[in-house]
């Protein structure tokens, strides 16, 4: 945890696992932010508030994943600097990303406030939940800058091959989030607003811890006065990588928002069921997202060092590891659909629980396609082809949204599961065709 890691030599499988494991634990802990909110609010406030946090979480993630997507793009540039031992370039990129990102986050927060009511109407938020959802989101939008700064700190550490430091900060912050939830929601009776405030304060704590650790352990990667200068070419590259990666993440969640609209039209019981399934899926997706992020850093460092053959070996190793993993995850998801749904939704909500179980068991059949897509995304990002995942995501959400609306009346919540699986089929077909063309181009260039 106290060291950076150069990924341009050494055993590939072990490096990918070593890099991915803290990312995985961190992603799972990140899921606990909303899951803890949902669990405590559902237990101590009621079903309406539980459903409201589900809707608010979907809207919030649109903005959060714009910021995390931007940082994912920045991490590729940082990893390339690190791969060729250009620490001055690394520090300057951190400075530029901080300046660009904080300013952009302030603008995004203002957009969130302005667009909140129209957005809630667009996704057909029930009138009796509107006030609860809006109250949660106002607090989240005020604290978005903490979300950006944490993701930037984590991206910088991850680019240097250290993914464990941000994990430790996140673990402390998650524990703080739980304590604050109990204090604000249960003790003070603040409801969904208390849950939102707990989330923001816990995120701020994680930023402070990351900066303290970074300054103490890696002073050579810490920005100084000499690094605080503007480089037009580097700023343009940062904006390009960051914005395209942000578009990738936001496109995915725009699709989820549109799907949420189809779910909302089916009533509060189905909304509660979908809220539970998204929390459960969030844990499953953590494995795929972590593997993808680890592979992108591995590929970027080796691309920066000019080691294309090792890049390809990393892709094949990552693919095998991910396929072995997803089989286990799919089986667990199908077997534990009933107890997990009951735990999150609560006993006495049989209709909601039944909808959630049907969704989870159906989508578990398709999950291997999701993980194949994650491997391709990590590979393309690492090579700087950040536009390819965007196109794949747009293809996926188009199929998913259209089929969800067409089938919802006949299949209920299971329509969303089927639509998502079919969307993944289209994405994998597209990524595979791009990969074949890329390999032919690489072979011709050798």
Whether the per-residue pLDDT at 34 is higher than 70: the answer is no
Query: Residue 407 to residues 173, 270, 277, 353: CA-CA distances in angstroms?
Result: 41, 15, 18, 20
Q: Report the distance separating Cα 370 and Cα 425, nearest Å.
A: 9
**Predicted confidence band of residue 241 (pLDDT cuts 50, 70, 90):** confident
> Tens digits of per-residue pLDDT, 175-185?
888 899 889 98
The pLDDT mean for the chain works out to: 85
Q: What is d(CA 307, CA 300) in angstroms, rounded to the nearest whole number?
A: 10
Packing angle of the helix pair 308-335, 268-304 (nearest 10 deg): 160
**CA-based max dimension of the chain:** 67
Residue-wise pLDDT tens digits, 199-219: 899 989 989 998 888 888 888
Give the residue among 134, 141, 137 at the shortest CA–CA distance from 107. Answer: 141
What integer pLDDT is reported at residue 213 of this predicted model? 87
Answer yes or no: is 74 within a domain: yes
Mean pLDDT, to the nearest integer, of 59-73?
A: 84
Residue 244 has a pLDDT of: 85
Residue 7 falls inside a structural domain: no
Highest mean pLDDT among 20-29, 244-253, 318-327: 318-327
Residue 4 belongs to some domain of the structure:
no
Residue 356 located in a structural domain: yes
Q: Flag whether pLDDT at 434 surpasses 70.
A: yes
Report which of 227, 238, 98, 76 is spatially closest to residue 160, judged by C-alpha positions. Answer: 76
Of the candidates 51, 3, 27, which has an alpha carbon nearest to the alpha carbon of residue 355?
A: 51
pLDDT in tens, 330-371: 999 999 888 888 887 776 677 788 888 989 999 999 999 999
Above 80 in pLDDT, residue 32? no
| Cα dihedral sign, 238-209-196-175 | positive
Give yes or no for a contact between 5 and 160, defined as CB atoms under 8 angstroms apart.
yes
Q: What pLDDT was estimated at residue 146?
A: 93
Number of compact structural domains in the chain = 1
pLDDT score of 26 more than 80: no
d(CA 74, CA 69): 9
Residue 3 belongs to some domain of the structure: no
Look at 29-33, 140-144, 183-187, 410-414 and tell me which has the smallest mean pLDDT. Answer: 29-33
Confidence of residue 39 (pLDDT cuts 50, 70, 90): confident
Q: What is the spatial distance between Cα 87 and Cα 81, in angstroms, rounded to a whole number?
A: 7
pLDDT tens for residues 285-296? 888 988 898 898
Residue 432 domain-assigned (yes or no): yes
Residue 6 is assigned to a structural domain of this protein: no
pLDDT at 366: 94
Instruction: Label residue 375 by pLDDT band (50, 70, 90).
Output: very high
pLDDT, residue 148, reads: 94
Q: What percent of the chain has a predicted confidence (pLDDT) above 90? A: 25
Q: Using pLDDT thresholds of 50, 70 and 90, give the confidence band for residue 2.
A: very low
Please tell me the predicted confidence (pLDDT) of residue 399: 92
Predicted local distance difference test score (pLDDT) of residue 418:
93
Cβ atoms within 10 Å, residue 127: 8
DSSP symbols for 219-286: GGGS--GGG----HHHHHHHHHHHHHHHHHHHHHHHHHHHHHHHHHTT-HHHHHHHHHHHHHHHHHHH
- Residue 5 maps to a domain: no
> Could you give the CA distance from residue 376 to residue 393 in angstroms, rounded to a whole number?
12
Q: pLDDT for 245-260, tens place per residue? A: 888 777 777 777 788 7
Range of the domain at 45: 12-445
pLDDT at 1 over 50: no
């Amino acid at each position: 945890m106290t060291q950076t890691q150069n990924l341009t030599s050494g055993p590939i499988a072990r490096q990918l696992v070593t890099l991915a494991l803290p990312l995985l634990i961190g992603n799972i802990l990140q899921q606990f932010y909303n899951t803890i909110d949902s669990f405590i609010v559902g237990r101590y406030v009621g079903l309406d508030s539980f459903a409201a946090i589900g809707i608010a979480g979907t809207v919030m993630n649109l903005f959060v994943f714009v910021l995390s997507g931007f940082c994912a793009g920045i991490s590729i540039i940082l990893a390339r600097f690190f791969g060729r031992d250009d620490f001055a370039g690394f520090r300057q990129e951190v400075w530029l990303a901080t300046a660009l990102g904080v300013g952009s986050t302030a603008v995004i927060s203002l957009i969130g406030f302005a667009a909140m009511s129209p957005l809630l109407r667009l996704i057909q938020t029930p009138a009796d939940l509107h006030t609860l959802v809006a109250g949660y989101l106002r607090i989240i939008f005020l604290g978005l800058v903490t979300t950006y700064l944490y993701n930037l700190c984590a991206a910088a550490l991850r680019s240097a091959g250290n993914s464990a430091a941000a994990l430790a900060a996140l673990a402390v912050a998650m524990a703080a989030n739980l304590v604050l939830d109990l204090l604000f929601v249960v003790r003070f009776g603040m409801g969904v607003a208390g849950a939102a405030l707990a989330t923001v304060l816990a995120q701020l704590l994680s930023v402070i811890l990351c900066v303290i650790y970074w300054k103490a352990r890696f002073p050579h990667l810490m920005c100084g006065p000499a690094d605080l200068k503007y480089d037009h070419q580097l700023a343009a590259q940062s904006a390009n990588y960051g914005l395209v990666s942000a578009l990738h993440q936001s496109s995915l969640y725009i699709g989820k928002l549109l799907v949420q609209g189809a779910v909302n039209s089916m009533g509060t019981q189905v909304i509660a069921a979908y809220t539970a399934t998204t929390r459960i899926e969030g844990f499953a997706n953590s494995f795929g997202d972590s593997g993808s992020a680890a592979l992108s850093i591995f590929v970027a460092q080796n691309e920066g060092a000019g080691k294309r053959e090792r890049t390809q070996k990393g892709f094949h190793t990552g693919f095998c590891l991910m396929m072995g993993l997803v089989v286990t995850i799919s089986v667990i998801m199908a077997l534990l659909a009933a107890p997990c749904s009951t735990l999150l939704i609560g006993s006495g909500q049989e209709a909601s629980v039944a909808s959630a179980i049907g969704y989870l068991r159906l989508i578990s059949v398709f999950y291997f396609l999701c993980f194949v897509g994650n491997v391709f995304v990590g590979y393309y990002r690492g090579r700087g082809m950040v536009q390819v995942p965007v196109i794949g995501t747009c293809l996926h959400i188009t199929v998913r949204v259209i089929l969800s609306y067409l089938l919802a009346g006949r299949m209920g919540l299971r329509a969303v599961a089927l639509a998502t699986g079919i969307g993944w089929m289209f994405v994998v077909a597209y990524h595979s065709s791009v990969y074949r063309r890329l390999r032919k181009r690489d072979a011709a260039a050798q």
